[in-house]
A and B are shown apart, each in its own frame.
Chain A
Amino acid sequence: MEHEVFTWASLFPFLKHLPPHVSNGIIVSVILLIIVFLGYRQLKKKEDEVVPEPNFSFKNFVEMIVEGISNLVVDSMGPRGKEFILLVGTLALFILFNNLSGLVPGFLPATDNVNTTFACSITVFVMTHYYGFKEHGIKYLKHFTGPFWWLAPLMVPIELIGHFARPLSLGLRLFGNITGDHLVTAIFFGLVPLLVPLPVMFLGLFVAFVQTFVFVLLSMAYFSGAISHEEH
């Protein structure tokens, strides 16, 4: 007997008719917003406390996330990285929580749809060139012309193609990995629902973290390439 597949989105009347990647993206974003809002209020309330709390609390959890992300950004981009913490952190949290939501039954992760991943990667693409122009002004175009001016007709198309390949590869990699992982988990669940999907789900946990990390690290590399002053 065929019955309707349960999704968490079907519990909300206004999300029911949206495509699954949109509705699940909205749910994950709302969960993230609640975490951020609660964390912000707690941080504000106890700002004057110097001694950390003895046991692991929600405040510690939020602090750990924020500090982890800002350390990661400053580590790999240098002191200039502070300008990018907001953008990179937003992308990291959104992608990580969406990837992890794929492991919860009833959720279809938003990142296993090309639209979501390309939305993220095109954001990175546009912001890269925005920061490039902001840093260098009109001289940013010199990044595309290569070492000599007479090589420009050859180098400009090559550079353009190289720059277009970046967001495409970013989005395609995230989409492919999450879709593949979700599919494998689903197939194993269909074959033997008891205990057999566990190793695959553990692999899914690993993939979720690694793919977030890859996305964030590569976008940081692109950002630092756009604002760097050396010839390349």
Chain B
Amino acid sequence: MYMVLKDTKRDTFKSLIDYSSLGLEMGLSVAIGIVIGYFLDRFFKTYPYLTIIFTFFGIGAAFKTIIILIKKMQKEDERNNNK
């Protein structure tokens, strides 16, 4: 199926996959942050401080995925403009 598509459509399809994976990855980043913080808290018995800190780390990771994607978008735009 992928082989049949033309070059431009292929690029569209690829970026579609990139963008559609953003939502899931953002949500999971926050969830993983919370889970790591929760278990560290249970281990060190410091509830709730580490949970809060790691929640913010998770949010930071989520934003980092957006930033990486934006950089990728800009690169693709430049490449398309140079064509």
Chain A interface (Cβ < 8 Å from any Cβ of B): 68, 71-72, 76, 154, 157-159, 161-162, 164-166, 168-169, 172-173, 209, 213-214, 217-218, 221, 232
Q: Which of B3-30 contact A (CB under 8 A)?
A: 3, 14, 17-18, 20-21, 24-25, 28-29
Q: Is the CB of B14 within 8 A of A76?
A: yes
Q: Which residues of B contact A217 (CB under 8 A)?
A: 14, 17
Specify which of A154, A165, A168, A172 lies most central, judged by the most chain B CB atoms within 10 Å of its CB.
Answer: A165
Q: Is the CB of A169 within 8 A of B21?
A: yes
The answer for the CA separation of A172 and B29 in the assembled complex, in Å, is 13
Q: Is the CB of A158 within 8 A of B57?
A: yes
Q: How many residues of B contact A (CB 8 A)?
A: 24
Specify which of A68, A154, A161, A218 lies most central, judged by the most chain B CB atoms within 10 Å of its CB.
Answer: A161
Chain B interface (Cβ < 8 Å from any Cβ of A): 1-3, 14, 17-18, 20-21, 24-25, 28-29, 32-33, 36, 54, 57-58, 60-61, 64-65, 68, 71
Q: Is the CB of B28 within 8 A of A165?
A: yes
Q: Which residues of A contact B2 (CB under 8 A)?
A: 72, 213
Partner of A169, one of B18, B24, B58, B71: B24
Q: Is the CB of B61 within 8 A of A162?
A: yes
Q: Which residues of B contact A72 (CB under 8 A)?
A: 2-3
Q: Which residues of A contact B14 (CB under 8 A)?
A: 76, 217
Specify which of A68, A169, A209 lies most central, judged by the most chain B CB atoms within 10 Å of its CB.
Answer: A169
7 A-B pairs besides A161-B36, A161-B54, A173-B21 with CB distance below 8 A are A162-B25, A165-B61, A166-B25, A168-B28, A172-B24, A213-B17, A214-B17
Residue of B nearest to A205 (CB): B1
